[in-house]
Amino acid sequence: MNTAVIVAAGASNRMQLNQSKVLIDIGGKPMVMHSIDVFRALGFEIVVVAAKSDIERMRDFINDLAVRIVQGGRTRTESVRLGLMEVSTPYVFIHDAARPLITRHLVERIERALELHDAVLPVSKVTDALKHVVGKTVTDLDREAYMMAQTPQAFLTEKIRYAHIRADGPYDDDISLYRSFYPEEEIAIVENDQPNIKVTVSDDLKVLRALIEEEPPLRIGHSRDLHRLAVDQTLILGGITIPYEKGLVGHSDADVLLHTIGEAMLGALALGDLGTYFPDDDETKRGQSSVVIVKRILDMVKGEGYLPSNIDATVFAEAPRLSPHIQEIRASIASILEMPLKDISVKATTNETMDAIGRGEAIAAEAVVLMKKV
């Protein structure tokens, strides 16, 4: 388990507001809750560092004893140090609450980078022409040589805490402080191509609301998958074991129906395909239940603010006859995805003895999933 320290103690002076910017309602909830919800969906421990004047209001809407709220300091550096004092996990993610567009996908990429490094920096490309201006002298710079730093920045907890305890003043960000204590250490860079703006001035709120509140409430995903049949294998469809002389072959339990549904969910939110997260060369996952895979995908889409609304799936198999098992398969999928049974459609058909499916050499599945924003 990791910890997220969410820094929400800024004074918001540049916003000229009568309240903290992190408490502004964005898409139906306070700005800070967007970050909390992503980390909470990933099972993180969470520490929110808040301004003294905001603590009681935060307790009212966070309403989760697992989220610790601590009072911040006079500077961001001091606030992070106070938050780090509450961290007991080996790794910590330090994130600005003023960046509410953080995604589960970015956090998971940073987690993977931490497997090989003690510090990780997410960045985005500079897309505008870049100039160095001194007085009236303008010099062109190579924008390919520059990146825009983002958060969350992630670290081995003991190292970043050591740096913060001994910090001699404020720093632009935690990576800058880290490098001042560990200048020779390699920093892992994770390039993020999704919006992750930091709300600093009033115009940023307009951009943020356009991105969050105009996000489509419904998105559609589609996928098709096929697995080979072989003897001495267990046939599993929709999480249900089907009596048959053959079973499907795959790196996991080869549940072609769940694979198709899971990949359609990923596709609806442009999160990649099944192999992105469950590669077939990962021997630690050999034989893994597809129920576990789809439940992880469900957590991923929840972290993006979506849930499956309804599913229409078809299984293509010459044998065995699947109609006696359809209702049990529907109930299984509904349970796995925490959905009403009425929103799950599963059909079965043959390929009229044509191709590998028709010859009884393979089974395929196809699914369309409608995702709704919650």
| Domains of the chain by start residue, with CATH | 3-213 (3.90.550.10), 218-373 (3.30.1330.50)
Cα–Cα distance measured from residue 6 to residue 19, given in angstroms and rounded to the nearest whole number: 18
Does the pLDDT at position 13 exceed 60? no
Q: Looking at residue 38, what is its pLDDT?
A: 92
- Spatial separation of the C-alpha atoms in residues 363 and 275, rounded to whole Å: 19
What's residue 31's pLDDT?
87
C-alpha to C-alpha distance for 169 and 75, rounded to whole angstroms:
9
Whether the predicted pLDDT of 279 surpasses 90: no
Whether the per-residue pLDDT at 12 is higher than 60: the answer is: no
- Mean pLDDT computed over 350-361: 92
Percentage with pLDDT > 90 across the chain = 62
Work out the pLDDT band at 14, boundaries 50, 70, 90: low
pLDDT at 19: 66
Question: At residue 215, does pLDDT exceed 70?
Answer: no
Cβ–Cβ < 8 Å for 25, 15: no
Looking at residue 210, its pLDDT comes to 74
Give SS3 for 240.
strand
Share of the chain above pLDDT 70, in %: 96
Tokens of 340: 């009403």
DSSP β-ladder status, 362-373 and 306-316: antiparallel
The SS3 assignment for 125 reads strand
pLDDT at 286 (0 to 100) = 86
pLDDT digits (tens, 9 = 90+) for 108-157: 999 999 999 999 999 999 888 888 899 889 999 988 888 999 999 999 99
Is the pLDDT confidence value at 174 over 70? yes
pLDDT at 17 over 80: no
**Integer distance in angstroms from the first to the last C-alpha of the chain?**
26
For 298-355, how does the pLDDT look when each residue is reduced to its tens digit (9 = 90+)? 988 888 888 999 999 999 999 999 999 999 999 999 999 999 999 999 999 999 888 9
Taking the model in full, what pTM does it have?
A: 0.62
Query: Is residue 10 within 8 Å of residue 20, measured between CB atoms?
Result: yes
Sequence-ordered list of residues with C-beta below 8 angstroms from that of 12, at least 6 positions apart, any chain: 19, 20, 21, 22
Burial class (CB in 10 A: 0-12, 13-18, 19+), 228: middle
Query: Among 9-23, 151-165, 287-301, which is the least confidently predicted range?
Result: 9-23
Residue 197 pLDDT exceeds 90 = no
* pLDDT for residue 195 is more than 90: no
For residues 345 and 103, what is the distance between their CA atoms, to the nearest angstrom?
30
Q: What is the per-residue pLDDT for 267?
A: 95
pLDDT in tens, 40-98: 888 899 999 999 988 888 888 887 777 899 999 999 999 999 999 999 999 999 999 99
Q: What confidence score (pLDDT) does residue 149 get?
A: 93
